[in-house]
A = this chain, B = another copy of it.
Amino acid sequence: MPEFLDLLPPLKARSILMENLSAVPEAERVPTVEALGRVTFSSIIAPHPLPSFLRSTVDGYALRAADTHGAGQSLPAYLKLVGEVPMGAIPQFALEKGQCGLIHTGGMLPDGADAVVMLEHTQTTRADEVEVLRAVAVGENVIQVGEDVAEGGKVIPAGTRLRPAEIGGLMALGVTELEVARAPRVGILSSGDEVVPPESEIAPGQVRDVNSYTLSALVQGHGGLPVRYGIVADEMDAMREAASRARRECDLVVITAGSSASARDLTAELIDSLGKPGMLVHGVNVRPGKPTILGVCDGVPVIGLPGNPVSALVIAGLFVVPVIEALLGLRVTRPSPSVPAELTVNLASQSGREDWVPVRLLHSERGYQAEPIFGKSNLIFTLAQADGLVCIPADDTGLEAGSQVEVQLL
């Protein structure tokens, strides 16, 4: 079988694909309030410093630090109270030597003040006099202008996926809309003469389309826009027509092959003839997912996934997700979420091949235990029962029961 003559390691296969990508992200302007999970197209530069004024971090008295030099419990510094700072407004007084002003957390320091003493470290016996019971350093309990962000500072680099914290940071700077990468359109084709749409009753010999929907959900979860082209017969003309249309209309095309070897060969031939350079990788040394096909056709990446639902979803995580991230211009990558766990049983693996094993996580006194779910890769509920995947690297011949593994959450 020609497809298995030259199995590439997954990392090598992925770099070949990534090196052949030429598409660049496109910008689209959205309100910041709707931008959660989107990826910044350009860097965000602070239009002004944050905070833009000297701010107190405590409730207390704004003062001149020098006036408290040598002060202590037994020898308070006596300061004249000359006003109270209103929240959200400019203090209507300035401090001279020996003076202080009541201030609340978040309040603006009056002119002349360079520090704040906490209420707890003061006492008042007379209405217009404050006794400061300890020395205060310059800048104490104060946020400096620009301490959060300096004016002109690059606060969020291009290629950052926006989380709640970034949304808040943008709002703090008054950036209520911004340019993000347009969601890449990901065309999804299922092939297989035995496959029928999910809303169909199934006759003996038929199965419902699963891959179009697991892949749509995966694409959507990573910021792509899934475009389903339906189920195509395992027949070259029909496949070529659907795939050509998807290639013209989308930024990435994913084809799940029919499950037979001849259907897989058809997918390979199709991808190789759809545009230049065509097929780049045919067969990857990974289980599940050996018959994976990677190609680029006239600038559009085209990925042929195995037809088995478990294989298709696992392999899409390895190859489709990185392409979506590249098309989004994602540059600030964060670690993929995982959980440490102790393997419950021995897992054998073939040396040279990378294995991905679905596991269920169980609580134990020593933390999580990872229990492999053994099931053929045709069984979609194998994955529905799994919390994550354990990778057995290519240079390992297996993992022993009791060994510590990192479970990549699904």
Known A-B contacts A57-B378, A210-B172, A260-B87; the reply to A406 vs B167 at CB < 8 A is no
| A261 touches B (CB below 8 Å) | yes
Contact with B along A165-203 (1 / 0, CB 8 A): 111111111111000000000000000111110111111
Cross-chain contact of A409 among B33, B106, B337 (Cβ < 8 A)? B337
- Chain B residues, CB < 8 A from A143: 376, 378-379
Q: Are A168 and B307 in contact (CB under 8 A)?
A: no
Known A-B contacts A87-B260, A163-B217, A234-B87; the reply to A168 vs B107 at CB < 8 A is no
Contact with B along A262-275 (1 / 0, CB 8 A): 11000000000000
Once the chains are docked, how many angstroms separate the CA of A55 from the CA of B259? 12
Cross-chain contact of A261 among B59, B87, B379 (Cβ < 8 A)? B59
- Chain B residues, CB < 8 A from A194: 87-88, 106-107
Q: Which partner residue on chain B sits nearest A160 by CB separation?
A: B384
Contact with B along A212-224 (1 / 0, CB 8 A): 1111111011000
Contact with B along A288-313 (1 / 0, CB 8 A): 00000000000000000001010001
A166 CB to closest chain B CB, in angstroms? Answer: 5
| A117 touches B (CB below 8 Å) | no
| A206 touches B (CB below 8 Å) | yes
Q: Which partner residue on chain B sits nearest A85 by CB separation?
A: B205
A193 CB to closest chain B CB, in angstroms? Answer: 4
Once the chains are docked, how many angstroms separate the CA of A259 from the CA of B143? 14
| A381 touches B (CB below 8 Å) | yes
A341 CB to closest chain B CB, in angstroms? Answer: 9
- A5-13, A20-28, A148-156 - the one binding chain B: A148-156
- A45-53, A62-70, A71-79, A343-351 - the one binding chain B: A45-53
Q: Are B216 and A33 in contact (CB under 8 A)?
A: yes
Q: Are A168 and B380 in contact (CB under 8 A)?
A: yes
| A17 touches B (CB below 8 Å) | no
Q: Are A410 and B376 in contact (CB under 8 A)?
A: no
Known A-B contacts A148-B381, A220-B36; the reply to A204 vs B53 at CB < 8 A is yes
Once the chains are docked, how many angstroms separate the CA of A221 from the CA of B167? 12
- Chain B residues, CB < 8 A from A237: none
| A394 touches B (CB below 8 Å) | no
Interface centre among A149, A203, A205, A214 (most CB of B within 10 A): A205
| A324 touches B (CB below 8 Å) | no
| A386 touches B (CB below 8 Å) | yes
Q: Which partner residue on chain B sits nearest A234 by CB separation?
A: B87
- Chain B residues, CB < 8 A from A119: 261
| A129 touches B (CB below 8 Å) | no
- Chain B residues, CB < 8 A from A36: 217, 220-221
Once the chains are docked, how many angstroms separate the CA of A379 from the CA of B168? 10
| A90 touches B (CB below 8 Å) | yes
| A115 touches B (CB below 8 Å) | no
| A258 touches B (CB below 8 Å) | yes
| A245 touches B (CB below 8 Å) | no
Interface residues of A in 95-153 (CB under 8 A from B): 104-108, 119, 143, 147-149
| A276 touches B (CB below 8 Å) | no
Known A-B contacts A33-B213, A335-B339; the reply to A261 vs B105 at CB < 8 A is yes
| A86 touches B (CB below 8 Å) | yes
Cross-chain contact of A164 among B234, B313, B339, B379 (Cβ < 8 A)? B313
Once the chains are docked, how many angstroms separate the CA of A375 from the CA of B51? 13
Once the chains are docked, how many angstroms separate the CA of A338 from the CA of B388? 13
A-B pairs, top 5 by smallest CB distance, nearest first, are A337-B337, A104-B260, A88-B194, A168-B214, A165-B383
| 20 pairs from A and B in contact (CB 8 Å cutoff) | A32-B198, A36-B217, A87-B234, A104-B263, A105-B260, A105-B307, A107-B194, A148-B378, A164-B213, A164-B217, A164-B410, A165-B410, A166-B384, A168-B217, A168-B313, A169-B210, A171-B198, A171-B212, A172-B207, A338-B339
